[in-house]
Amino acid sequence: MEERGEAERFGELLRAGQSYWLDNLSRAMLRDGSLARRVEHEGLRGVTSNPAIFEKAITSTDLYDEQLERLAGSAASLREIYEALVVADVRDACDLLRPVWQESDGVDGYVSLEVSPRRMHDTAGSIEEGRRLWAAVDRPNLMIKIPGTPAGVPAIEELLFEGVNVNVTLLFSVAAYRDVADAHERALRRRHEAGRPLGSVASVASFFLSRIDVLVDSLLSQRLVPDRHGAGPAPSLFGAAALASARRAYRHFEERTASDGWRTLAGGGARPQRLLWASTSTKNPLYDPVRYVTPLVGPDTVNTLPESTIEAFARSGEVRPGAIRDGRKEADEVFERLAEAGIDMDAVCARLVDEGAVKFIEPFDRLLETLLERRREFLRESRTRVRLEGSAAEAADAARLAALAERRTGVRLAAADASLWTGESGSEESGRAIRLDAAERATGALPALLDFAREIRESDVEQVVLLADGDAAAAARAFAAPGRGRAIDGRPGLRVLASANPAAVREASEQVEFGRTLFVVASASGDGLLPRALARYFLARAARCGERAPGARFVAIGRADSPLLREAEQAEFLRRFEVGGNVTGRFAALDAFGLLPAALTGVNVEDVVAAARDVALECGPDVPEAVNPGLRLGLVLAAAAESGRGPLEILPAPGLEGLAAWIERLVTGSLGPAGLAATCGPVGRRPAAGPVSVSVALAVGGEPAAGTIRARLPRREAAGGEIVRWHHAVAVAASLLGVDPLRDPAAARDRAVEAMLAAVEARDGTTETRRPAAAVDGVELYRPESDTGEDRTDEASIASLLRGLISASGGTGVTTLAAFLPPGEGVERRLSDLCAAVAGRGAAPLLHHGEPAVVAAGAAARGEPGCALVLTAAAADDVPLPDATYGFAQLERTLAARAEEELREGGIRVLRADLGWYPEEGLEALIAALA
């Protein structure tokens, strides 16, 4: 039809009280002028949009590429990228329709923008997002689309009260329409009582039509076969339900606007909430293409039309003023006859709401997946590439991803909802909720850390010595490359001491030049018993070496109100860095524990944090489960635990050993109670035989080694992103396995060790009260005190005890080797050989050095076959602790004793092997016994 004829037809529609809005919006129609022509020449009065419309618009053209590339290079989240793209289009459309809005005195000229369909059952989220979109577009002729679900109704009321125009969507029943109309009136009454203007707020209630007929017709068709009485639904019921619903809804609208209550509001300037007919394209080709247009003309209504229906109406549509009022009696009869035919319209409408959600969520997720892929293309040279293969790819299948979506796992993770693991509002043991905002925390902490690191690098400091517990040490090693503390290229070197072994303490002490050393004392978990002891020792050594203010060479990193920070204040440390107390140590690598040592030694921590932010964006709550790397990896870990095969094997390329060790600790400590441990490092530390559940290959630059999970990092600093990815993965796996990832017995362990030390002092330094179960050539094996086996002193008994211990692992279980031994290459070589001997017996060895990782590792076998061998040695020359009656040798032996207790308490079968004065020879004896 010519433009003039089309304009006349839609002019008639407007004079009959109905506006027509376009059910489509794209940047192309804004750029080529086609939308402007419709407004100027064809009587268009408004535009609606939804995720499906934008999905089609953004994926069908390159008009968005320039803006998308710019956003990809920023710190924008996937949600922010999506909103930036659509807000630009909606704002331009609002400006285009602004004259219509002004000319109609705010009746028409609106552009609708929908909140995320994932907010459909989230009242607070819908309100927050509605406010944000309203502010972002910043146009008075915007309407925010909110579904008329039970959760949407209070959001609709609140936004209208605040002055936000609302288009209520997904209405299928008169009952649901009444609820939103009530919310509209309540909002206006509240505004009136608050002295706010009423005429500036507009709303429409969108009744979806064709989908009603599609479902009802389908149900009717299943009832066409007559029953034994020869009855069946009349053919006239086909295609009748939608129009009958619309007529009943309009009758309620007229009754409401004729009420005294509404007239009072109208007298104050209130506008009626117009009914809008949506989903008006006929899905049945046998139906008239203007079936949902011509019969629904009436005052104070809107019909939102797709392109095909606009063309059909321009060709053959008829405008009959007040047609919507016809057939009201017949509408009631249609509902009665549908009920007689066994059609439950309440159930139909409930199902349509659920299906409507899917119809919006699916294209919305497709759009987000497309945006994520485009973002990755723009950033392909700077981001880590991860591939899942074999069993890992199978674990992250569509069904399992859909189950995560149904549980709203991503959203609940972002909200720190601990009920994912505990079923309660907080962690059972710690009272804290897990937080996955590590990248955000790191961004906030970075300026202070960088300023301090710059100050230190410009000073006379040539080496940094980290005195730490296990979690803090692992955090530092994830980014920095520890050595012997020597300066490298003018940057201070890093030495890590996280052991109470006297030989290790003495070696570090002898190689420290106190006048050029900064000590960083860090406790990421517990009361910091070990780091505090190390700090007292080195403070005393610094004073003896002539340091007038020894505390000025020390920095502390700890929890608020922790014993470490209190002691640091008393000793007048140079700086104290306080870390929020609601993050378990294993999840604190991107706090000062990991970032400060890295920054002090010249690591580009800004790049580390940037990589963390990048992966955090891809693991965000708005990222669809199918492409969310944290959720996908979490499914793999959960499947690995459920498989009952071996530990998770981590294969790091050179330079990534620290990151691999941190992953090992995170996985084992968090998922150990569910049966999943991890192992990494040199070949001797990994199982030489037996299956593994999943293998993770890590590389920088080049392709990783073979593995079911392959991660290629563009540079070492990209480890920051892997920290975030594994945080999310472990949290997801823990929720699926029903374990609390915050479980951290460190504080209880520290208190227990202090009590044990007091008991040792009462026994004049005697630690071991048991007789050895076997002893030969200086090696002694101890069984639990409850073990009543005969004491024997021959090589055969050592062999039988060790082999019997490993056989308890059931062939594929975990054998934890907890080494409380002096450092040295010879000891390390023989420990690797011992691991190989254990693996040769069909078990999966996990080697850990000292406290507290050993307990986490032992917990990995909880509920599964497993065993542990605790290795200790005599100290030829102890190192005394200031202000204590015992030295580091006694502290380490007590830590080993407590580790042994905790393993037994966890149901693990344990032996302790004391290797005597010569640990290398003692290890050789154990290896020979397993041969």
Q: Which residues are catalytically annotated?
A: 145
Query: Would you mind telling me the total number of residues written for the chain in this entry?
Result: 931
Residue 631 CA to residue 627 CA, distance in Å, equals 8
Q: Scanning the structure block, which residue is given the tokens 């104290």? A: 576
Position 20, amino acid? Y
Neighbours of 219 (CB within 10 A): 18
How is 771-834 classified by DSSP, letter by letter?
PPSEEETTEEEE--TT--PPPB-SHHHHHHHHHHHHHTTTTTSEEEEEEE----HHHHHHHHHH
Sheet containing strand 554-559, strands side by side: 493-497, 463-468, 517-522, 554-559, 575-579
β-pairing, 814-820 vs 575-579, is unpaired
Residue 108: strand, helix, or coil: coil
Residue 404: strand, helix, or coil: helix
How is 123-185 classified by DSSP, letter by letter?
HHHHHHHHHHHHHHH--TTEEEEEE-STTHHHHHHHHHHTT--EEEEEE-SHHHHHHHHHHHH
How many CA within 13 A on the CB side of residue 808?
19
Q: How far apart are the first and last CA of the chain?
A: 93
How is 259-279 classified by DSSP, letter by letter?
SHHHHHHHHTTPPP-EEEEE-
Residue 866 CA to residue 856 CA, distance in Å, equals 13
Asked whether 186 and 157 are in contact (CB, 8 A), the reply is: yes
How would you class 451 by CB atoms within 10 Å of its CB: exposed for 0-12, middle for 13-18, buried for 19 or more? exposed
Residue 471 CA to residue 68 CA, distance in Å, equals 39
Short-list 555, 577, 625, CA closest to 441: 577
Strand positions, DSSP E, 351-451: 385-388
DSSP 524: -
Residue 231 CA to residue 249 CA, distance in Å, equals 30
Short-list 595, 331, 252, 634, CA closest to 439: 595
Asked whether 31 and 43 are in contact (CB, 8 A), the reply is: no
Residue 269: strand, helix, or coil: coil
Strand partners, 467: 497, 521
